[in-house]
Amino acid sequence: MEISYNNEFKGKGHHCATFLIRCMDFRFHKALEENMEQILGESSCAFDSPGVGGGGSKSIIDEESRRVVFSALNIAMEKHGVNRVVIADHIDCGAYGGSGKFANEDEEEKFHVEKLKEAKRVLEVDYKNLEIVLIYQSWNSIKTI
């Protein structure tokens, strides 16, 4: 099988301002991607994404996956001119034990907000000049922290 498509980026260079660090969980990708322009207040918003398993904030907090994420981020900054990182956590994330670990959705969100802030602090140690945007995605909303 061969499928034809039109790549909107053909011939337009490699510049991309945003690096998205998110969980591999497929259930949250479509909604997040469809709303990135609104979240960041930009039209035609493109982003690099390393595609690391284990959650947005967790992939930065854990030293092993951090090396992979930072390596990809370094390439994105050098080759694509990335100057903003979006760290996206989501509800019912298996990397943190899923929703069943929490008494309710408010408690789960508070946990993720703390983890996102921790990931931001870790990121800021090595990257002083990046804009960092924190996102929490529930089943029916996406909010910036």
Footprint of Zn ion on this chain (CB under 5 A)?
Answer: 23, 25, 55, 93, 95
Token pair, residue 54, equals 């284990």
CB of residue 22 to Zn ion, shortest distance in Å:
8
Residue that the structure tokens 């802030």 belong to: 117
CB of residue 99 to Zn ion, shortest distance in Å:
11
DSSP for 65-109, please give it.
HHHHHHHHHHHHHHHH---EEEEEEETT-GGGT-GGGSSSHHHHH
- CB closer to Zn ion out of 50 and 55: 55
- CB closer to Zn ion out of 73 and 93: 93
CB of residue 93 to Zn ion, shortest distance in Å:
3
- CB closer to Zn ion out of 60 and 95: 95
Contact of 74 with 81, CB cutoff 8 Å = no
